Homo-oligomer: A and B are copies of this chain.
Amino acid sequence: MTEVKGFRFATAEAAIKAPGRKDCALILSDTPAACAGVFTRNKVIAAPLIVSKPRIAAGRCQAVLINSGNANACTGEPGLEAARRSSAALAELLGVDEDLVAVSSTGVIGVQLPVDRLTRALPALCAELATDKATAVAEAIMTTDSFRKVSSRELSLGGVSCRVLALAKGAGMIHPNMATMLGFVMTDAAVAPQLLQPVLNQAVNGSFNSITVDGDTSTNDMVLMMANGAAGNAQVQPGTPEAEQFACAVDEVLLDLAKMIVRDGEGATKLVQILVQGACDAQQARIAARSVATSSLVKTAFFGEDANWGRIIAAVGYSGVEVNPDVIDIFFDDVQVVADGLSTGPQREAVATQVLKQPEFRVTVDLKLGEGSAYYYTSDLTYDYVKINADYRT
């Protein structure tokens, strides 16, 4: 399912990337949609975010212009001007209010956006608009991604069939607070505007903010959700079962995309869930899970398919959370390798090594101190990660 009522999509070549590569995309709602957004917490913020944030904060959005190949970050006043010019040109072409246009960029930092090329491509882009081109958009916004990322759910809200469709890009620099990560969620459900932001926040926390590839956070990250009501359902109100259903669907599509991003982590060969339970509280569990998920030593051990739990216990230990080393349990999937802080022996470790040979598995760390639990998804750290990132601009 890659169509959502009342949304159209388009892609084009603006010659920002090399010839033959689609590098700009458009998402258009037939009518102004209610919207919500989550943005990078990096203090260095790219021009398109500076332009789009207040527009999205106003709560309505109709069109999103996205380019890949150039982040329009660290580009100063000319960069801001470029973001404004491209959104103004698109608004004029579409005949919509400029404040209803969001712009989004991803790619190299510190190089001026070739805005003339981008605006010249806009008529072709608008001419391409069609209901069935969401996957093409997912492809055009890729940078180091090796596959496009699309997820969707259908759900019945008050007896009316509604859809949630989400696209994302992101492979390197993926870390909480979303690093070089763009996400777009389109729904044809009618949803009370005040419900959108909390639903998006919760879904982002459980997905894009619970993954890590390399711990960096970019200047350009954003997740934008638009709800245009084209499905014709009665508007979903806060505190109702429908609100719960809708939030679940958004949670699910974003978690799908987040896992795809980790799986596509630069050079990654493994998708690993780090589950910390038994922490004093959920916040402590999250800090400990993140510490394990971001440890280069843990991640290289995953690549080496080495059940090296010493590195895991060390990463928990230096995370700063409350721990009692003498009670910790550690499992690889269901295989326990540490019981009360001690090795369960070489035989169990040999079995655990088989778990690590899988492309996906879970590491559970039970601190046995309280009720707090949290997860992170991470990848292994591989030769190819180094290769891709050493050569990115060359």
A323 at the interface (CB under 8 A from B): yes
Q: For A311, A341, A391, which residue has the most chain B Cβ atoms within 10 angstroms? A: A311
27 CB-based A-B contacts, threshold 8 Å: A43-B316, A43-B322, A43-B323, A43-B325, A44-B313, A44-B316, A44-B323, A45-B325, A74-B313, A74-B338, A76-B342, A110-B342, A214-B296, A215-B295, A216-B297, A216-B311, A217-B317, A219-B317, A296-B389, A300-B386, A301-B392, A304-B391, A304-B392, A306-B392, A306-B394, A308-B393, A383-B386
> Which residues on the B side are within 8 Å of A318 (C-beta)?
41-43, 177, 216-217
A389 touches B44 (CB 8 A): no
Whether, in the assembled complex, A109 has its beta carbon less than 8 Å from a beta carbon of chain B, the answer is yes
* Cβ of A314 under 8 Å from chain B: yes
Of chain B, the residue at the smallest CB distance from A321 is: B43
Question: Does A382 have its Cβ within 8 Å of any Cβ on chain B?
Answer: yes
For residue A237, CB closer than 8 A to chain B, the reply is no
A381 at the interface (CB under 8 A from B): yes
Bound: A385/B304 CA distance, A: 12
Interface range on chain A (Cβ under 8 Å from partner)? 35 or more
In the A-B complex, the 3 residue pairs with the smallest Cβ-Cβ separation, listed nearest first, are: A109-B310, A304-B390, A44-B317
Question: Contacts of A217 on B, CB cut-off 8 Å?
Answer: 314, 317-318
A109, A317, A323, A343 — most chain B CB neighbours (10 Å): A317
Rounded to whole angstroms, the CA-CA distance of A385 and B303 in the bound complex is 12
B297 pairs with A386, CB closer than 8 A? no
Given contacts A173-B297, A383-B386, contact A342 B214 (CB under 8 A): no
Q: Is chain A's interface secondary structure helix, strand, loop, or mixed overall?
A: loop
Tell me the bound Cα distance from A45 to B386 in angstroms: 32
Q: Does A351 interact with chain B (Cβ within 8 Å)?
A: no
Add 20 more A-B contacts to A217-B318, A306-B392 (CB < 8 A).
A43-B316, A43-B320, A43-B323, A44-B313, A44-B317, A71-B310, A73-B310, A74-B343, A75-B342, A108-B310, A109-B314, A110-B313, A110-B342, A216-B314, A296-B296, A300-B386, A301-B392, A304-B390, A306-B393, A386-B386
**In the bound complex, do residue A216 and residue B390 qualify as a contact, i.e. CB atoms below 8 Å apart?**
no
A172 within 8 A of B: yes
Complexed CA–CA distance, A342 and B217 (Å): 20
Interchain CB contact under 8 A, A386 and B389 = no
Kindly list chain B residues whose C-beta atoms are within 8 Å of the C-beta of A11: none
A315 at the interface (CB under 8 A from B): yes
Kindly list chain B residues whose C-beta atoms are within 8 Å of the C-beta of A41.
318
Question: Smallest Cβ distance from A321 to chain B, in angstroms?
Answer: 8
Within 8 A of B (CB), among A253-303: 294-297, 300-301, 303
Q: Please give, as numbers and ranges, the residues of chain B lying within 8 Å of A386 by CB-CB distance.
A: 300, 303, 381-383, 385-386
Which residues on the B side are within 8 Å of A294 (C-beta)?
215
> What's the minimum C-beta distance from A348 to chain B, rounded to whole angstroms?
12
Most buried by B among A44, A309, A321, A343: A44
Give CA–CA (A315, B173) in the complex, Å.
11
Q: Is A120 an interface residue when CB atoms closer than 8 A count as contact?
A: no
Q: Given A215-B296, A295-B216, are A74 and B342 also a contact pair (CB < 8 Å)?
A: yes
CB pair A343 B110 closer than 8 Å: yes
| Interface residues in A35-80 (C-beta closer than 8 Å to B) | 41-45, 71, 73-76
